[in-house]
Amino acid sequence: MRSKHTSRVAVLLILPAVVLILLIIAYPLVYSLFSSFQLADGGWGLDHYQTVLGSKEFWSAFKNTLLFTAGIVSAEIVLGFIVALGLQKLPTHVRNVCRGLMIIPLLISPVIASYEWMWMLNDQYGLVNQILGAIGITPPLWLVKPGWAFFSISLVDIWVSTPFVILVFQSALASLPKEPYEQAELDGASALKKFLYLTLPYLRGPLIVVLIIRTMDVFRIYDAIAVLTGGGPGTATTSLSLLAFRTGIDFGRMQQSSAMSLLMMIPILIVTAFYIRMIFSGEGEETRKKPARFRRK
Amino acid sequence: MKKFRKWICVLLSALMVLGLASCSGGGTSEAAPPEGAASGAASGEATTGGPSINVILPGNIEGQLIKDSIPDFESETGITVNVTEVPVDTLNTKITVELESGGSTADVVAYPYEWIPKFADSLLALDGYISEEDKNDIAQYAWDSASYNGSILGQMYVVTGMIMFYRSDLLEDAGLEVPTTWDEYVSVSQALTTDDMYGTVVTAKLAEEPVGMYLNYLYQNGGDILDEEGNVILNNEAGVEAMQFMVDLVYEYQVAPEAASTFTTTESLNLFTEEQVALCPNWSYVWSVSQADDSPIKDKVGMALLPENKEAGISLGGWVMSAVGASQNPDAAYQFIQFMNDTERQVRMAVEGGNTPTRTSALEAAEVKEIPLFDVMSEALATSVPRSKYPKYDEISNEIAIALSGSLAQTGEPQELLDTAAANIEAILAS
């Protein structure tokens, strides 16, 4: 009796959210799926996919996007991990203050952050160049040469998003169980061993969550590129999102843009499926092996 | 398994938060309707009983000047105007979505005129509305620029082009004349380049606007993007030479900043007003900025036509106001466009916004004649080439922008990059 009533209330409560999600996610997705197959003459076909897959711009943007994703995500994970471990060693009140300060980049809109960095990296009046100049380093023209432009865009994204990674790792570190560590202590395990055999396996879950979210996010990188370089010089920093936006909005080729966006989803889906498999395989290993390793002799 | 579920929950909640956050970003900031306007009223009848129209204006100086004239329009015509002000950066998106969605409530849209070919199918042809008097009073280049496939699809309310702004004090001190040819341009720039001053400036960021500067050099060198039959001739000798000249100003003659591939004319204007550039090819609005009371270069600026190599020619820049084809109130929409382009409004745009009037009657007004800018501009605009003559200009200019920014960042040679651009433009035109 109770369960029937509760489930009806539950359905009613989640209904608005489901309708909203259907409207803002499912409808545009289905619409763009249809439009990507719709031809100019009113028929249906794969022409738009053929055009996109046959264009050099698409593959160049695809390569750039992969490089951005690999570079930015790995930098964020390494940096986030190091900072989170460092924070763990600080006294609680200092840690809280640091954590509060680190959230600031997350609160700033990525577009605003990109504009801030654009000015900080400006070759005439930029703060970064002033500081480098003051310590005797000749600064590069950050946004002029393709390599530096790539680096500058990555820097902005890392600055904006690493705090998120730190927060996830930090909360995972804070919730680690004490017993295995006490046990390891009794067994005389070194700090390195504790890190390798306890901390790292325990962080597997959060690491995969961070990997999934950040990979999906960076794969859609747009703001920093649009503000800092507009995709240039040449096409050196044009990402898939920027190309899809230009194709659809600037050039009015909505169907081609839809095809491009849907093609973009494939690598994201593959990578996500791979990560999720990692979680499943990890689950078994964790429960089987870990207690055995520190079993009292 | 419990732990796995926990992390899936964390993942899903995080995704939801990120999703919501991304939904809230990127929107256009729309100004509230003016006081007294029926907020959210659909096109048609206003709450006051008279007709009402919805107008999309860009968030720039000219957009503001039009907004300022709306109360006069409303009291004279009894038509209520609801304004949506959209930042220039997102204007293309806004108008594209409005016109393509089919559910548009906009009656009048204002935008850069080179988008006319793209929006042509959704716009109202104004040929039947325009009076003979207006046809004769407004310059022919303004009608040509606002036309597509033989129909007039709007009225240019801003026309602009690049001219040379120069530091008259520096030229005078050095005993130099204003350059009129490319060779003189190089030698004067070299003479004026010092440790704290660049002789001139080149703009080549990967964006639509800097392409205007390349087109000027291209036309001055006798080149064009397409020939009369519509064949792509961008990568011929004239086109390559023009781009090479821009590269040479930076790297060979070293008279312009190396960061050219990150510059639009906003950056070049900053350098000019901060006394770091002596010769600044830029749009006409620079005149009013440089003459502002707090400008360090007030009274030290002169104006001339851009130097030419083989012939005179500049790319015409400008903004147009069009009536939407699906408007419920086409008459009121045209009335609005006509009112905002009448002689009185053009004089105001000229005096307060530094915009060159397209009406002879406005050019002859005493307060307009007092401003030296308009003599030079009228002469420059007479040699202007409209961008709306190129179908798919957005895509064409994107290809040129890629070649231009690549050349200025030295990722390739102008010939090689323009060959790629020309091949891509051919494919774009064929599709």
Query: Strand B155-160 vs strand B317-323: parallel, antiparallel, or unpaired?
Result: antiparallel
Does the pLDDT at position A250 exceed 90? no
Note the pLDDT of residue B14: 56
What pLDDT score was predicted for residue A205?
Answer: 86
CA distances from A133 to A65, A104, A124, A156, B297 (A): 32, 27, 11, 21, 28
Q: What's the burial of B292, exposed, middle or buried (CB within 10 Å: 0-12/13-18/19+)?
A: exposed
With a threshold of 0.90, tell me whether the complex ipTM lies above it: no
Q: Which of B5, B11, B393, B413 to mutate to test the interface with A (most CBs of A within 10 A)?
A: B11
Q: How many CB atoms lie within 10 A of CB A266?
A: 9
Q: What is the mean pLDDT of residues A204-230?
A: 92
B307, B178: one domain: yes
Query: Is residue B192 pLDDT above 70, yes or no?
Result: yes
Section B333-358 average pLDDT? 92
Q: Point out the least confidently predicted range of A65-79, B40-54, B96-110, B362-376.
A: B40-54
Q: Determine the average pLDDT of the residues in B37-48.
A: 43
- A:B CB pairs within 8 Å: 108
Which tokens belong to A290? Answer: 């870990």
| Same domain? B101 vs B172 | no
- A interface mutation test: which of B15, B92, B208, B261 has the most A CBs within 10 A? B261
Confidence label for B256 from pLDDT (cuts 50, 70 and 90): very high
Q: Which residues of B touch A (CB under 8 A)?
A: 1, 3-4, 6-7, 10-11, 14-15, 18-19, 23, 25-26, 92-93, 96, 100, 118, 205-207, 257-262, 271, 276, 392, 394-395, 398, 401-403, 405-406, 408-409, 411-412, 417, 431
Is position B26 within any domain?
A: no
CB atoms within 10 A of CB B133: 9
Is residue B130 pLDDT above 50, yes or no?
A: yes
Residue B178 has pLDDT above 60, yes or no: yes
Query: Which residues form the domain of B231?
Result: 162-314+391-430
Q: Is residue B13 part of a domain?
A: no
CB B328 within 8 A of CB B107: yes
Judge: B4–A144 Cβ closer than 8 Å, yes or no.
Answer: no
Q: What integer pLDDT is reported at residue B49 of this predicted model? A: 63
User: Cβ–Cβ of B206/A252 closer than 8 Å?
Assistant: no
pLDDT at A200: 86
Window from A40-44, A99-103, B3-7, B218-222 with minimum mean pLDDT: B3-7
Is there a contact between B262 and A235 if contact means CB atoms under 8 Å apart?
Answer: no
User: Looking at chain B, which residue has its C-alpha nearest residue A51?
Assistant: B431
Question: Are B92 and A249 in contact (CB < 8 Å)?
Answer: yes
Would you state the pLDDT for residue B86? 92
> Given the structure tokens 């499912």, which residue do they identify?
A26
Statement to judge: residues B236 and B305 lie in one domain: yes
Q: What percent of chain A has pLDDT over 90?
A: 48
pLDDT at B173 over 60: yes
- Count of domains forming chain B: 2
Is the distance from CB of B121 to CB of B326 less than 8 angstroms?
no
Q: What is the mean pLDDT of residues B183-199?
A: 96
Residues B121 and B248 in one domain: no
Q: Give yes or no for residue B27 having a pLDDT over 50.
A: no
Please state the length of chain A. 297
Q: What is the pLDDT of residue A189?
A: 85
Q: Is residue B38's pLDDT more than 50?
A: no
CB contact under 8 A, A213 and B411: no
Tens-place pLDDT, residues A169-210: 998 998 888 888 888 888 888 888 888 888 888 888 899 889
> Highest-confidence range of A80-94, A196-210, B183-197, B348-362, by mean pLDDT?
B183-197
pLDDT digits (tens, 9 = 90+) for A33-91: 998 998 878 889 999 999 999 988 999 999 999 999 999 999 999 999 999 999 988 89
Same domain, B148 and B195: no
What's the mean pLDDT in A241-257? 89
Beta bridge partners of B112: B319
Q: Which of B15, B19, B406 sits opposite A233 (nearest CB)?
A: B406
Average pLDDT rounded to a whole number, residues B238-246: 97
Which residues of chain B lie closer than 8 angstroms to A231, CB-CB? Answer: 206
Task: Determine contact, residues B315/B215, Cβ cutoff 8 Å.
Answer: yes
Judged by CB atoms closer than 8 Å, whether chains meet at B18 and A217 is answered as yes
Residue B405 and residue A251: Cβ atoms within 8 Å?
no
Name chain B contacts of A25, Cβ cutoff 8 Å.
Answer: 19
> B394 and A251 in contact by Cβ < 8 A?
yes
What is residue B47's predicted lDDT score, i.e. its pLDDT? 47
Q: What is the DSSP string of A42-70?
A: S-B-SHHHHHHHH-HHHHHHHHHHHHHHH
**Residues B342 and B210 occupy one common structural domain:** no
Residues on chain B touching A107 (C-beta within 8 angstroms): none
Closest CA to A153 of A71, A212, A77, A82: A71
Kindly indicate the confidence band of residue A223, based on its pLDDT and cuts at 50, 70 and 90. Answer: very high
Give the confidence band of B11 by pLDDT, cuts at 50, 70, 90.
Answer: low
d(CA A30, CA A38): 13
**Beta carbons of A233 and B408 less than 8 Å apart:** yes
In whole angstroms, give the CA distance from residue A146 to residue B305. Answer: 35
Q: Tell whether B404 and B268 lie within a shared domain.
A: yes
> Measured between CA atoms, how close is B155 to chain A, in angstroms?
22
Q: In the prediction, which pLDDT does B289 show?
A: 87
Instruction: Say if A212 is an interface residue toward chain B (CB within 8 Å).
Output: yes
B321 and B174 in a common domain:
no
Q: Tell me if B423 is assigned to some domain.
A: yes
Q: What pLDDT is attached to residue B167?
A: 96
Whether residue B34 lies inside any domain: the answer is no
Looking at every residue in chain A, the average pLDDT score rounds to 87
Instruction: Please name the member of B96, B206, B431 whose beta carbon is closest to the beta carbon of A249.
Output: B96
Q: Are residues B207 and B234 in the same domain?
A: yes
Q: According to the model, what pLDDT value does residue B72 have?
A: 95
- Among B206, B394, B411, the residue with its CB nearest the CB of A230 is B206
Q: Are residues B230 and B299 in the same domain?
A: yes
Q: Which residues of A touch B100 (CB under 8 A)?
A: 252, 254
pLDDT higher than threshold 70 for residue A130: yes
Whether residue B23 is contained in a domain is answered as no
The number of beta carbons lying within 10 Å of the beta carbon of residue B161 is 25
Q: Would residue B10 count as lying in a domain?
A: no
Chain B residues with beta carbon closer than 8 angstroms to that of A153 = none
Between the alpha carbon of residue B98 and those of residues A24, A37, B44, B101, B324, the distances in Å are 18, 23, 17, 6, 10
Please indicate, yes or no, if residue B150 is contained in any of the structural domains.
yes
* Residue B13: band (very low, low, confident or very high) from pLDDT cuts 50, 70, 90: low
What is the CATH number for B289? 3.40.190.10
Write out pLDDT tens, residues A90-124. Answer: 898 998 898 889 889 989 999 999 999 999 998 87
pLDDT at A282: 60
| Arithmetic mean of pLDDT, A228-252 | 90
Same-domain check for residues B356 and B293: no
pLDDT at B30 over 80: no
The values of phi and psi at residue B45, to 5°, are -90, 130
* pLDDT given at position A138: 87
A250 vs B23: CB contact, 8 Å cut-off?
Answer: no
Partners of residue A246 in chain B, C-beta under 8 Å: 398
Mind giving me the DSSP string for B315-367? E-EEEEEEEBTT-S-HHHHHHHHHHHTSHHHHHHHHHHH-PPPSBHHHHTSHH
Q: Tell me chain B's radius of gyration from C-alpha atoms.
A: 24
Round the average pLDDT of chain B to a whole number and report it: 87
Residues B219 and B108 in one domain: no
- Asked if the structure places residue B7 within a domain, the reply is no
- Contact present, B79 and B335 (Cβ < 8 Å): yes
